[in-house]
Structure 1
Amino acid sequence: MLDLATVTLASLFAGFVDAIVGGGGLILVPALFSVFPGAAPATLLGTNKAASVWGTAWATGQFAKRVQMPWSALLPAAAAAVVGSAAGAWTVTLASPDGLRKALPFILLGVLLYTLARKDLGRTHTPHWTGRTQALLASAVGLVVGFYDGFFGPGTGSFFVFLFVRLLGYDFLHASASAKLLNTATNASALVLFALKGHVWWHIAAVMAVANVLGSLLGTRLALKHGAGFVRGVFIAVVAALIVKTGYDAFLQPG
């Protein structure tokens, strides 16, 4: 019972953070591995997806009610993200992600330093492109980051947000809202794969999903209330935490 309470609380907090700017996996995945150290990693990852996909989907719906979403660009981008995720998952069966694991902390550090240096970055919503061009660029982001999500994964939401801000000219609020849709698509795709392989603890995932949606509700309300500046601040904090976590995993973790 204590184990379930622990991962449920982690799921609540993960949903809260994920709704604002992504990065919920930074909280929930380590919690699952800590509480259930003897379980198969695929089962824990599948259970994580089964819980978090609902919070991400809920956040997408909440943002869509209050933020103007460019559906003509985002729907093709979501489809591209699913294709990229599947391709990344297939590639990881052929090649090891060890090189990327060691490079990731430095890539994230570059994202953080760039964001800090450009103090105006993502504070105003001024899309650089419209129509087909916007759809093509959004789809390219979906394909590339979706591939990364399937191949390795940590920081996927942060990469979606950063690229929507940097390449498409979105503010952090609109970028986070857009990232939620793409993250929902990739998470749902991964969940189908895990479920077909029997790698989901549905009885635990159901309880965590409720908590994740509640956390998502709180996070979305805060993001909508305080706007792009607040989301930017949380983005910086999450990327900094990801640098520490991925750096430890790549260079300091025993074994």
Structure 2
Amino acid sequence: MFDLALDVTLWLIAAAFVAGAMDAIAGGGGLITVPALMLAGVPPAQALATNKVQGVFGAATAALSYAASGHVDLRGQIRAAMLAFAAGMAGAFCVSLIPTQALRYALPVLLIAIAAFFALKPGLNDLDRAARITPGQFTAFVVPLVGFYDGLIGPGTGAFFMLCFVMLAGYGILRATAHTKLLNFSSNLGGVLAFALVGKPLWITGIAMGAAQIAGAWVGSRLAMRIGARLIKPLLVTSSTVLALKLLYDLF
């Protein structure tokens, strides 16, 4: 069993708090927690599994926080959440079966395109616009696709959900952020269950980090609801760009 010293665990808990706040606002918390776990000496597969464990706490807290303030009806997302859960589990089980190298090369380009879209497209604010597809079509096609990606690869899931809610469902920035959280939680939870069988996460460390994620997600969601698109957009652009650069660095 892989053990961590107390000072290293405390450092990981602090990283999880910051990641929880960032995730609740714009996603991208894994940019903080996965490198932190690997710098602590956790093997890559175990780091990814542990990151899934701690991440579900922050996503759940953010979803509940947005719902309590009236920005999302969680009951109305139950069917979509179930699909995201199943798709996330399926993606995690397929990690060793599906070649993903081509997608890993394309992912930085997609993330930079998302960053450019949110940075440069005029009129993106907290106001809703006309939807391009129906809610049923969104649930049936978009949610399983992004959820499967979350289980299979993971980085940028929040940004992909955000883009789809804004471009296809016509949601404003804050509403899109609020609706992303339950779906991200569900696909993450599906991934956790699959990784628990093959990745052997550090449960105690993951739960300790999860407690910090709860606090960070509460702070981040309150800030997002107070400031709205003026905070969410620049953080989303920054997190997507940094993640793209990190993926390029890892590849080359």
Q: Same fold (TM over 0.5)?
A: yes
Return the alpha-carbon distance in structure 2 between the equivalents of residues 139 and 167 of structure 1.
13
Which of 67, 84, 96 does residue 93 from structure 1 map onto?
A: 96
- What is the CA-CA distance between 1:154 and the residue it aligns to? 0.7
Counterpart of 1:236 in 2: which secondary structure? helix
Return the alpha-carbon distance in structure 1 between the equivalents of residues 81 and 213 of structure 2.
22
Distance 1:217 1:46, change over 3 A: same
- What is the CA-CA distance between 1:115 and the residue it aligns to? 2.2
Return the alpha-carbon distance in structure 1 between the equivalents of residues 187 and 69 of structure 2.
23
Q: Check the 8 A contact 1:73/1:139 in 2, yes or no.
A: no
Return the alpha-carbon distance in structure 1 between the equivalents of residues 91 and 52 of structure 2.
17
- Normalising by structure 1, we get a TM-score of 0.89
Residue 71 of structure 2 is matched in structure 1 by 68
How big is each residue's C-alpha offset from its partner over 1:195-239, in whole Å with a ceiling of 9 and x where there is no partner?
Answer: 344712222122211111111111011001111232112111111
State the AA in 1 paired with 2:89. Answer: A
- What is the CA-CA distance between 1:71 and the residue it aligns to? 4.6
- What is the CA-CA distance between 1:92 and the residue it aligns to? 2.8
Which of 9, 14, 17 does residue 4 from structure 1 map onto?
A: 9
What is the RMSD computed on CA atoms of the aligned residues?
A: 2.0
Matches within 5 A, 1:59-208: 59-71=62-74, 74-126=77-129, 128=131, 133-197=134-198, 199-208=200-209
Residue 30 of structure 1 is matched in structure 2 by 35
Matches within 5 A, 1:206-225: 206-225=207-226
- Tell me which moved more, 169-178 or 105-114: 105-114
Which of 44, 47, 51 does residue 48 from structure 1 map onto?
A: 51
- What is the CA-CA distance between 1:18 and the residue it aligns to? 0.5
Counterpart of 1:168 in 2: which secondary structure? coil
Residue 3 of structure 2 is matched in structure 1 by none
Return the alpha-carbon distance in structure 1 between the equivalents of residues 235 and 154 of structure 2.
19
Q: Check the 8 A contact 2:66/2:221 in 1, yes or no.
A: yes
Residue 245 of structure 1 is matched in structure 2 by 246
Distance 1:94 1:9, change over 3 A: same
Return the alpha-carbon distance in structure 2 between the equivalents of residues 203 and 151 of structure 1.
24
- Normalising by structure 2, we get a TM-score of 0.90
- Tell me which moved more, 67-76 or 41-50: 67-76
State the AA in 1 paired with 2:200. Answer: H
Return the alpha-carbon distance in structure 1 between the equivalents of residues 195 and 87 of structure 2.
17
Structure 2 segments unaligned to the other structure (5+ residues)? 1-5
How big is each residue's C-alpha offset from its partner over 1:162-218, in whole Å with a ceiling of 9 and x where there is no partner?
Answer: 110111011111111111000110111112223344712222122211111111111
When the two structures are aligned, how many residues end up with a matched partner?
A: 247
Return the alpha-carbon distance in structure 1 between the equivalents of residues 45 and 194 of structure 2.
10
Return the alpha-carbon distance in structure 2 between the equivalents of residues 66 and 184 of structure 1.
18
Q: Check the 8 A contact 1:16/1:217 in 2, yes or no.
A: yes
Return the alpha-carbon distance in structure 1 between the equivalents of residues 13 and 39 of structure 2.
13
- What is the CA-CA distance between 1:88 and the residue it aligns to? 2.3
Q: Check the 8 A contact 1:122/1:169 in 2, yes or no.
A: no
